[in-house]
Amino acid sequence: MPPSKQGSSHAVTTRRQPEEDRAGVSTLNRRQPELLARAPHQALAADVLRAKVLIVDDQQANRVLMRHTLPRGEVDIIEAGDGLEALRLCAEHEFALILLDIRMPGMDGFELAAALSRDGATREIPIIFVSSGGDDMSHIKSYQFGAVDYMTKPLNEQMLASKLRVFVELWRSKRQLHQLLGVLEERNKKLEEEITERRRIETLVRHQAQHDALTSLPNRILFLDRLDTALERAARHHENFALLYIDIDGFKPVNDNHGHLVGDELLRHIALRLCKNVRKTDTVARLGGDEFAIVLEEVASDRAALQVGLKICEALAVSYVLEMPDGLVTVRVGASIGVSIFPDHGRNRNDLINAADVAMYRAKRSGKNHAALAEPPSGSVALLRDRLAARL
């Protein structure tokens, strides 16, 4: 060591790399513009890729000597005169390499390396121990404290330059990889958001295609699909179900006297009452205008299905108090309901619908606000046999 001893200092030295030194640039660094071209807004700036090297030695003369020994390149050289100052600098900067003197007063190089290894933010920093002695025990102890290499003073300039380039390239490659992973993660996140939004729109479009815009009930398309499903299930399990066709009595006068806004609000309230008077497993649909339909799953008997229809007539006949922009409007309507049963009144969609429709008009002719059960189809031996087989 030089005879004079200076206090600790913190200096930054920046040098441009000459053409002859840039020949050793790695393939990854040469391809950096190509790799980051897909995300130019996130490309790493040149100063972000500048590596920092920390020299830790209690002798200023030694620090100056090592600084001048390091190859000229696009690196920032930062100096620390003791272990505590080095710890503070490691907390403020990200270093590609630390050149660490072993023998220092206070916190020596081994103690500093041990402190850095206990911190998750600094334990990965490569450390090259520098010592004026070359005994085997120092070598062994250096590697025990996490050193990646060991050099003795006076430092060989070419060897130090070679080691520096290796660790700077590794640091830059790590930064580039981290950046590329960040770009990929951001793009994956945006892709997931786009997929989620697309699925939301598809779900909305599918719902709008299958549901009534005014009441949010299943529309005719979804109703027919549910009816076909009920037919298949009932035939497979030898069960029965009921189809209710509903026509609102007195709806046209409400529209004529109070306007379409009141009529629309009335239809929404009718839909709510229909849903409240059936099970969640049943299907309530609006077929259009003031016509509704219900698929009652697994009814116990013809009479039970008819009783549901009569209960709905009573519920719909209660006065409606509608909150409109101009105030409350009170209206009353009724319902005519036709009820058909699978398989008694039909084994396919058309037969069941026709039977329920005929029964509904029969209910209207009988005085409205009434439910009527469909009549059995014209008797034949084959049909009676089928009905008996289905019930068995």
Active-site amino acid positions: 290
**Separation of alpha carbons 250 and 385, rounded Å:** 42
Alpha carbon distance 175, 167 (integer Å): 12
| Phi, psi for residue 31 in degrees, rounded to 5 | -90, 5
Report the distance separating Cα 110 and Cα 102, nearest Å. 6
The single residue listed with the structure tokens 């930062």 is: 78
Question: How far apart (Å, rounded) are the C-alpha atoms in residues 325 and 191?
Answer: 44
Secondary structure element (H or E) that encloses residue 181, with its range: helix 157-210
In the DSSP assignment, the letter for residue 17 is: P
User: What is the rounded distance in angstroms from the CA atom of residue 322 to the CA atom of residue 319?
Assistant: 10
Closest CA to 70 of 96, 103, 43: 96
Q: Which of these, 220, 244, 255, lies nearest to 336 by C-alpha position?
A: 244
The count of residues in the chain is: 392
- The residue type found at 145 is F
Task: Collect contacts of 119-123 with beta carbons under 8 A, ≥24 apart.
Answer: 119/90, 121/90, 121/91, 122/90, 122/91
